[in-house]
Amino acid sequence: MENSKTSDKLSAFLESGIYRFENSNVVFIDPVRMLNRSYTRFRFSPSAYYSRFFDSKETIETSNSKKRKRKEKKVPHDLNEREQAATLRHQQVRPMLLKAHEFLMEATDLLAIMKGLRGDSNICSSTESSEHHSFIELGEVWQAPLYEIILKAAWKGLERVVPVFNNLVVNEASDDMEAEFLNKKYILPRESCFYMSDLGQIHNLIHECNAGFNLIVIDPPWENGCARQKLRYPTLPNWYFLSLPIKQLAHPDGALVALWMTNREKLHNFVQKELFPSWGVSHEATYYWLKVKADGSLISDLDLFHHRPYECLLLGYFHGQGTNSKQPPRLGPIKHDQIIISIPGEYSRKPPIGGKFVLTWH
């Protein structure tokens, strides 16, 4: 009977990309399988997504050597008040995260599949390509308003040319749409859209989406003192996000707001005391993203002070007009302390927690 349950869970995972550990608050996800559920004719390549943590023995030995040097810096000797609060917060969630990791390491059938996720021939198809353009850099040049993207509706034999920046680019069809921008090819999933712009222009999105959103997922480029991170993408000061028009973007009946966070105590204080109140959002629950390698081991020691292998996802409700209930009428109560385990993709890329996944996991 137990073998049958395990087989059913693995079959469900291979289909959906979600492995639910029984009688727990823990799931393991394969972002590639989850993303591919949005496509009809094309598939996202596992080798393109999983660019890290499928290391050779030589790379692993180098990584372990660096980690041994770091271990001496697990907790500084003299902690200031903010660091003490961060340590206490970590100690409160630590047992839960360790238990979640135990669930993973005991699931030997799942671990066997994980090692082959990067080269999974069952889902790998035709979307892997060479390095694409830096849209951040292109959006900053004076020619940005002139850049156009070609949308190709192959099933109709039609093409549309529309601005790529400061414009809602839409694929309303129930099939994938091919697109071309500066001689590079892209795929728009069925019934999807994107609005690519400077954050200062986000108010224009309000006019493009009159109905409002019942789920708003935000991954801000939080300011960070790490020089290496600053080289990867530009960051913004925390106060900049106070002006995000959550009220105007949310559905009139209310919305669930999901905010990705680092583990910095200063940031947690800012969100709880300033950011959520300014948005009109009430904090309801916290999820945790636990990052592992292909062999199931954590990407770093759980107790490293500045490089912990998990991030937080804060969930809150924005209450719509004239609603006095604890949660918006379209959304149910949220479970607390849920844990998502996955192998990370490229630097700073978050797993796909939008749509049905987060809305049904409560």
Q: What is the pTM of this model?
A: 0.86
How many whole angstroms separate alpha carbon 142 and alpha carbon 103? 52
How many whole angstroms separate alpha carbon 258 and alpha carbon 281? 10
Strands (E), the chain: 18-20, 26-29, 148-153, 158-163, 168-171, 177-181, 184-188, 192-195, 215-218, 254-261, 281-291, 310-319, 339-342
Tokens matching residue 255: 């919305």
How many whole angstroms separate alpha carbon 248 and alpha carbon 252? 9
Whether residue 323 contacts residue 250, with contact meaning beta carbons closer than 8 Å, is answered with no
Angle at 226 between CA 221 and CA 231, to 5 degrees: 70
What pLDDT does 69 receive? 47
How many whole angstroms separate alpha carbon 137 and alpha carbon 125? 29
- What are the Cα distances from residue 322, in Å, to 65, 143, 252? 58, 44, 9
State the Cα torsion 256-333-312-193 to the nearest 10°.
-30
* DSSP 8-class letter at 201: G
Please compute Rg for the chain using Cα positions: 21
What pLDDT does 121 receive? 45
3-class state of residue 278 by DSSP: helix
What pLDDT does 223 receive? 84
Local confidence pLDDT in tens for the 362 residues of the chain: 556 667 788 888 999 899 999 889 999 999 999 999 888 888 888 888 888 877 655 344 444 545 444 444 555 567 788 888 889 999 999 999 999 999 999 999 999 999 888 875 444 344 444 566 788 889 889 999 999 999 998 666 789 999 999 999 999 988 999 999 999 999 999 989 999 988 878 888 887 777 788 899 999 988 876 645 556 777 888 999 998 999 999 988 889 999 999 888 999 999 999 999 999 999 999 999 999 999 999 999 999 887 899 999 999 999 877 555 566 655 667 888 999 999 999 888 899 887 555 555 54
What pLDDT does 68 receive? 46
As a residue count, the chain comes to: 362
What pLDDT does 332 receive? 65
Tokens matching residue 74: 């697990």
How many whole angstroms separate alpha carbon 54 and alpha carbon 48? 12
How many whole angstroms separate alpha carbon 117 and alpha carbon 15? 13
What pLDDT does 5 receive? 66
What pLDDT does 227 receive? 46
What pLDDT does 268 receive? 93
